[in-house]
Amino acid sequence: MQSSEPEVKKIIVKLGKRSYPIFIGNNLLNNAGLFKNYINSKQVMVVTNETIAPLYLDRIIHCLSDLVVESIILPDGEEYKTLEIMNTIITKLLQQRFSRNSCLIALGGGVVGDITGFAAACYQRGIDYIQVPTTVLAQVDSSVGGKTAVNHILGKNMIGAFHQPRAVIADISVLATLDNRELRAGLAEVIKYGLIHDKKFFTWLEQNIVRLLNREYDALCFAIDCSCRNKAEIVAKDEKESGIRALLNLGHTFGHAIETGLCYRDWLHGEAVATGMLMSADLSCRHGWITDDDIARIRKILNTAELPVKLPQGLNSERMLELMSVDKKTRNGILNLVLLKGIGNAIVTDQYDSEKLLETLMHFSAVQEVA
């Protein structure tokens, strides 16, 4: 299958010399030609995890059989997205004498993509990598845009780099093996694009959320394509997040605080983002920027996708405020938040009422707090 055939969608992330394509289609993991256009070396290392390896690792190794393909299998989970695990990738690269021209392939979800991208950013001060996202979340969000990172015990994604991949190869067929919870978590990031600046897409999602949950190929393909186009457009305008790109963090300041508070366990990233988006909507509503009806629409689609809409046990408003204070969008002590001025119209602002923020945090606490 060639990329020029109609069934493979191609989106270019326009970043001058660092531009690269996103391919979306069926059975792309078998498409040797597609991969090889973006590999400039005989040395390739596939980084994956213990969930994905038994399913798809052999397929990629077979596909690239005329190259020297090594692999490393990481434990599965956000709690393993650490500097230590990143260092195990570096060690293997050095043991196998991988040169500055070699290429990494990130085969997995957001955790694998982020840690592999960061290893590629750092190894010998930067080598190539290709993203092969295997979850909805990674296909629509984390694999696109060159944000790489590992977590620190005190904050999510605090150690990282901007390092663009050479290509993103999103094979829709691998979503067949995705478990339901991962699918739903990924849909949270899809819904995010609608909320940020694509009201029409949000409406489509309201009408098609059940088809997505049923994994109908056409619906998934449309949603992933639409999400990637939204992301590619924003990244092209603001690669290093000095402005508009911060909109993509809708729900993430709350979400990262949840994840850090849970030590990156128990909740998936997309689940934390789901709750975070509803909290952003709630805070926006308290400022009169969106209506109760808007909130109800957002809550309904999240409920349909069975995503959490309350803070987890043990994270009260005080702890949340503390966790949020290390957010990357803080400037001179003031936390910027992504809020909504309507569905499809997100803004980044520090002009919000901190009393109302506290009200939102208390409203979402799993256990009722006394003010």
The CA distance from 138 to 170, in Å, is 9
Clarify whether 147 is annotated catalytic.
Answer: yes
CB of 328 to its own copies, least distance (A): 5
Checking phi first, is residue 13 left (phi over 0); if not, alpha (psi -120 to 50) or beta?
Answer: beta
**Which residue lies nearer to its own copies by CB, 154 or 371?**
154
**Which residue lies nearer to its own copies by CB, 95 or 207?**
95
CB of 110 to its own copies, least distance (A): 16
**Which residue lies nearer to its own copies by CB, 124 or 304?**
124
Indicate which residue of 189, 239, 259, 271 is catalytic: 189
Clarify whether 249 is annotated catalytic.
Answer: yes
Clarify whether 50 is annotated catalytic.
Answer: no
Clarify whether 125 is annotated catalytic.
Answer: yes
CB of 122 to its own copies, least distance (A): 5
Q: How far is CA 22 from CA 16, 41, 171, 201, 205, in A?
A: 15, 21, 10, 20, 22
The CA distance from 187 to 112, in Å, is 19
CB of 314 to its own copies, least distance (A): 21
Q: Which residues pair with 106 in a beta bridge?
A: 47, 131
CB of 333 to its own copies, least distance (A): 7
**Which residue lies nearer to its own copies by CB, 74 or 301?**
74
CB of 78 to its own copies, least distance (A): 18
Indicate which residue of 245, 286, 297, 328 is catalytic: 245
Q: Which sign does the torsion angle of CA 282, 283, 288, 294 carry?
A: negative
Residues with Cβ within 8 Å of residue 32, at least 6 apart in sequence: 63, 64
Indicate which residue of 9, 81, 147, 163 is catalytic: 147
DSSP H/E element including 155: strand 155-162
**Which residue lies nearer to its own copies by CB, 97 or 265?**
97
Closest by Cα among 85, 103, 87, 106 to 95: 87
**Which residue lies nearer to its own copies by CB, 122 or 258?**
122
Clarify whether 70 is annotated catalytic.
Answer: no
The CA distance from 80 to 309, in Å, is 25
Indicate which residue of 163, 231, 297, 328 is catalytic: 231
Closest by Cα among 98, 125, 128, 112 to 47: 112
Closest by Cα among 140, 122, 148 to 188: 140
Residues with Cβ within 8 Å of residue 120, at least 6 apart in sequence: 104, 126, 127, 128, 129, 148, 163
Indicate which residue of 241, 259, 297, 328 is catalytic: 241
129 φ, ψ (degrees, to nearest 5): -150, 155
**List of residues contacting its own copies (CB under 8 A):** 41-43, 83, 87, 90-91, 94-95, 97, 99-101, 121-126, 147, 149, 152, 154-155, 157-162, 240, 325-326, 328-333
Q: Residues 155, 260: contact at Cβ < 8 Å?
A: yes
**Which residue lies nearer to its own copies by CB, 3 or 349?**
349
Clarify whether 231 is annotated catalytic.
Answer: yes
Indicate which residue of 156, 163, 184, 252 is catalytic: 252
The CA distance from 185 to 133, in Å, is 14
Clarify whether 7 is annotated catalytic.
Answer: no
CB of 335 to its own copies, least distance (A): 10
Indicate which residue of 17, 125, 265, 331 is catalytic: 125
Clarify whether 328 is annotated catalytic.
Answer: no
Clarify whether 363 is annotated catalytic.
Answer: no
3-state class (DSSP) for residue 96: coil
**Which residue lies nearer to its own copies by CB, 110 or 308?**
110
The CA distance from 46 to 214, in Å, is 30
CB of 71 to its own copies, least distance (A): 19
Indicate which residue of 49, 230, 249, 336 is catalytic: 249
Question: So which residues are the catalytic ones?
Answer: 125, 147, 189, 231, 241, 245, 249, 252, 256, 269
